[in-house]
Amino acid sequence: MSSIRRSALVPFSAQQMFSLVADIESYPKFLLWCGGTRILVQNDDEVVAAINIAYHGIHKTFTTRNRLQQGKLMEVRLVEGPFKHLHGFWQFQALDRSSSKISLDLEFDFSNRILELTLGPVFSNIANSLIDGFSKRATALYGERQSQ
């Protein structure tokens, strides 16, 4: 099983960063690997969404159930896709009114060896770039800010 653990201090509020991560429909606008999304279920506490990976000629779709704690946490669990296991957490910790720490902890295992060999490096690159992608999106939407 592979795991990714990344975090960053950002000059944006925890709520702003949470809102970006929870806005799955907007992923294709700024995550270059995202070929599309489809929201299957959405309410205040949960989003079930299908995400299409379209990266260097590889096209795979996976569906996750995302449990939300407004402004604080997003738990990601596999519903279906090329994984045997996919589970993780986005965490958003306020440092003050205008800065926060965002963290991504993700564990995944592919359903077979061929997928692991072909999709594994791609998915690892994608997962490793997520924090940076959301940080850049925050700057684009909310403007450049100085770190405290």
The reported pLDDT for the residue numbered 148 is 47
- Whether residue 147 is contained in a domain is answered as no
Please determine, for residue 146, whether its predicted confidence score (pLDDT) is greater than 60.
no
Average pLDDT, the chain: 93
Q: What is the pLDDT of residues 62-73, one digit of tens each?
A: 999 999 999 999
CA–CA distance, 12 with 75 (Å, rounded to integer) = 21
- Whether residue 148 is contained in a domain is answered as no
Give the residue numbers spanning the domain of 128.
2-142
CB 108 within 8 A of CB 118: no
Q: What is the pLDDT of residues 7-66, one digit of tens each?
A: 999 999 999 999 999 999 999 999 999 999 999 999 999 999 999 999 888 899 999 999
CA–CA distance, 58 with 106 (Å, rounded to integer) = 21
In this prediction the pTM is 0.90
- Whether residue 65 is contained in a domain is answered as yes
Owner of token pair 């489809």: 38
Q: What angle do CA 139, 140, 144 make, to 5 degrees?
A: 40
CATH of the domain at 123: 3.30.530.20
Domain count for the chain:
1
- Whether residue 107 is contained in a domain is answered as yes
- Whether residue 98 is contained in a domain is answered as yes
Residue (of 105, 97, 48) closest to 71 by Cα position: 97
